[in-house]
Structure 1
Amino acid sequence: MNYKEIERKFLVNNLDFIKESFDNNRIEQGYLNSHKQRAVRVRIKNEQGYLTIKGESNQAGTTRFEWEKEIPVSEATQLLGICESGVIRKTRYLVKNNQHTYEVDVFDGDNKGLIVAEIELSSENEIFTKPSWLGDEVTGQVKYYNSQLSKNPFKNW
C-alpha cells in the first residue's frame, strides 16, 4: 500500500466545472488533531465514514504521508462529536480531464464562497492539463488546508 499522497491545489475561476463533472458527494469532516506535523481527520462522505491521518507536507507542499481507513458512519458520527471546533461542510465534484480526475470542493458554512480544486499525481513533476476554470495555484499555502479552514474559515479572511 502506498502511503504517499502527491497533489496540487488551485483556486477555481468559475462554475464551468459543474457541467463537466461526472459525480458529486456531500462531505462533512472534522479534526481530532490538526497539528502541523499530523492531522487526524474524521469524514462522512455521503453514507460512509472514514478516519484519515495525514503527515506534514514537504517543503513544496505537494507530498505528504496519508493513511485512510473506512469506518462505519455511526462511528464517524460519534467521532465528529468530539472533534476540534470548526467542522467543514462541502460538496465535492469529480471532473475527468484526460488521464486525471480533479476533485473540486465547493465549501459551505463559514467557508462559503471558497472553491478549491485538487489533482493527485503519481510524481511531483508529472505533466497535467489545466482546464479553463482552473485559477491560481495555492499548493503549499497552509491557509487552504482543510485543517486550517476549520480554525480560520474563509469568512474571516
Structure 2
Amino acid sequence: MIEIERKFLVNSVAFKTEAYRSYTIKQGFLNSDKERTVRVRLKNDKGYLTVKGKSTANGLSRFEWEKDISKSEAEALLQLCEPGIIDKTRYEVKSNDHTFEIDEFYGDNEGLVIAEVELNSESENFEKPNWVGMEVTGDIKYYNSQLSKFPYKKW
C-alpha cells in the first residue's frame, strides 16, 4: 500500500512509438487536501476510487489505496468532484525491468507530458529512456490534484 514513484518531464514524443498500450483517463478529486486526496478515475470503461496519503519529504513515497468501482459509479462520482477534471491519455512503455507510464494531458493542461516509474524501493536503480527529461518528483505543482486547481496553461 506504499507507492514509490519518480516523475519526469518528457522531452520528445518518441515514447509513442515505444508504447505497448495506451488508454484514456478522466479523473477528478472528491478531496484534494495535501494530507490526503480522494480521486475518482474512469480509465476507458473501468472505474476506480483511490485514496492517497501525504508524500514523504522527498516526494518519493506515500500511502495509496485503490478500489475498482463500476463505470456508472465513477461517472456519478465525477459529477461530485471539485472543479478541474483531468483529461489525459496514458501510454505504457517497458524499459528493462520497469514500466514507464506517460501521461499526455489535454484541456487546460495541454502541452504537459509527464512520465512516472514505480519502484520497489526509494534507492532502486532504473534506466531512463532517452525521452525522459528533468525530474519533477516531489514538485507538488505536477501532482494531478494540483493540476486540477492550477492548470499548466495558467503557469
**TM-score with structure 2 setting the length:** 1.00
Partner of 2:146 in structure 1? 148
Give 1:99 deviation, angstroms: 0.4
Instruction: Map 1:18-33; keep pairs closer than 5 Å.
Output: 18-33=16-31
Q: Distance in 1 between matches of 2:100 and 2:125?
A: 14
Aligned to 1:128: 126
Which residue identity does 1:74 align to in structure 2?
S
Q: Which residue of 2 is the match for residue 36 of structure 1?
A: 34
Partner Cα distance (2:121, 2:23) in 1: 27
Moved over 6 A (4+): none
Are positions 1:117 and 2:115 aligned together? yes
* Residue 57 (structure 1) shift: 0.1
Distance 1:43 1:88 in 2: 9
Partner Cα distance (1:5, 1:152) in 2 = 24
2:17 is paired with a residue whose SS is helix
- In structure 1, what is the Cα distance between the partners aligned to 2:56 and 2:152? 24
Unaligned runs of 5+ residues in structure 2 are none
Report the aligned-residue RMSD.
Answer: 0.2
Query: Aligned with 1:124: secondary structure?
Result: coil
Give the aligned partner of residue 16 of structure 1. 14
SS in 1 for 2:141: helix
- Picking from 65, 68, 86, the partner of 1:67 is 65
Distance across 2 between alignment mates of 1:92 and 1:66: 19
Amino acid at match of 2:25: I
Question: Structure 1 residue 105: deviation in Å?
Answer: 0.1
Q: Which consecutive unaligned segments of at least 5 residues does structure 1 have?
A: none
Q: Distance in 1 between matches of 2:26 and 2:47?
A: 10
Counterpart residue type for residue 67 of structure 2:
K
